């Protein structure tokens, strides 16, 4: 089935859905029909875009867009100065494309990067929940050889221990609890519970055996510190 036939089928489905929606009286049924209507409308829009691109390619192959898909940027580095948090994106030959192909949008707590038509692909990076607020109006991008440098202007000069709040939460969960007033045995039990919950079957059997032996020693009045 070619694109034209697919579009015709989707338009017919939407027309029939609209007719059903007008006749429907149940709210729940209406919501289901509306969801399906939105899904078909989105699919129809994509098919029409594909049809337009196909027509442009057939009319003028040189005018067809080169980038046909988008890949996520997963590797980047960052550091900071007193005034800026700097994010480094290594992208080969990025300095050879038009500067307007590198789009960067800032908010107080996030940033997004879209590099268009580089090596036949678009490249995208989105970072949410920055550790501290930034000044979006004073933040900027700099294009260097094989690199895009993102300059996020700090609202305050405080040092960032992490780039995002999510990273901070993740790292701090891994830190041991060093409460000086806590009972040492509580810390041991928490550690054992963590090992037990994350361990494999063999580890769980070993811990269960050690626990049983320690309880038996405790009942006999023996020292259980070796557990």
The two tokens of residue 21 are 């929606």
Clarify whether residues 110 and 149 are in a common domain. yes
Q: Are residues 14 and 93 in the same domain?
A: no
Q: What is the pLDDT of residue 82?
A: 95
Task: Tell me which of 30-39, 114-123, 218-227 is least confident.
Answer: 218-227
For residues 15 and 151, the model is more confident at: 151
Instruction: Round the CA-based radius of gyration of the chain to a whole number and report it.
Output: 29
CA 222 → CA 89, 216, 217, 225, 226, distances in Å? Answer: 61, 9, 5, 9, 10
Domain-located, residue 224: no
From CA 205, how far away is CA 159, in angstroms rounded?
Answer: 46
CATH number at residue 126: 2.60.40.790
| 226 belongs to a structural domain | no
Q: Is residue 209 part of a domain?
A: yes
Q: pLDDT by residue (tens digit) across 71-112?
A: 999 999 999 999 999 999 999 999 999 999 999 999 999 999
The span from the CA of 12 to the CA of 148, in Å, is 47
How much is the pLDDT for 182? 54
Do 79 and 140 lie in one domain? The reply is yes
Is 8 a domain residue? yes
Better pLDDT: 116 or 1: 116
Task: Indicate the range of 36-40, 172-176, 192-196 predicted with least confidence.
Answer: 192-196
Strand order in the sheet with 70-72: 70-72, 121-127, 111-118, 102-106
Residue 226 pLDDT:
47
Of 164, 194, 209, the one marking the end of a domain is: 164
84 and 126 belong to one structural domain = yes
Mean pLDDT value of segment 43-51:
85
pLDDT at position 227 is 43
As beta bridge partners, residue 144 has 147
Which of 63, 90, 114 terminates a domain? The answer is 63
Listed residues 63, 88, 113: the one ending a domain: 63
Range of the domain at 156: 70-164
């Amino acid at each position: 089935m070619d694109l034209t036939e697919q579009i015709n089928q989707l338009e017919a489905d939407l027309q029939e859905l609209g007719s059903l929606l007008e006749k429907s009286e149940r709210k729940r049924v209406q919501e289901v029909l509306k969801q399906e209507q939105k899904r078909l409308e989105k699919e129809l829009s994509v098919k029409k875009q594909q049809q337009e691109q196909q027509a442009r390619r057939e009319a003028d192959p040189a005018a067809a867009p080169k980038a046909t898909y988008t890949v996520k940027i997963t590797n980047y580095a960052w550091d900071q100065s007193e005034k800026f948090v700097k994010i480094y994106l290594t992208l080969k030959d990025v300095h050879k494309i038009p500067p307007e192909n590198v789009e960067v949008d800032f908010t107080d707590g996030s940033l997004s990067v879209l590099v268009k038509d580089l090596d036949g692909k678009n490249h995208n990076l989105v970072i949410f929940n920055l550790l501290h607020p930034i000044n979006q109006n004073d933040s900027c991008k700099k294009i260097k050889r094989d690199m895009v440098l993102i300059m996020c202007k700090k609202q305050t000069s405080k040092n960032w221990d992490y780039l995002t709040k999510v990273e901070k939460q993740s790292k701090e969960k891994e830190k041991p609890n060093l409460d000086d007033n806590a009972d040492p045995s509580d810390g041991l039990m928490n550690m054992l519970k963590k090992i037990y919950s994350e361990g494999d079957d063999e580890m769980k059997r070993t811990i269960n055996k050690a626990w049983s032996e320690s309880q038996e020693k405790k009942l006999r009045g023996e020292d259980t510190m070796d557990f």
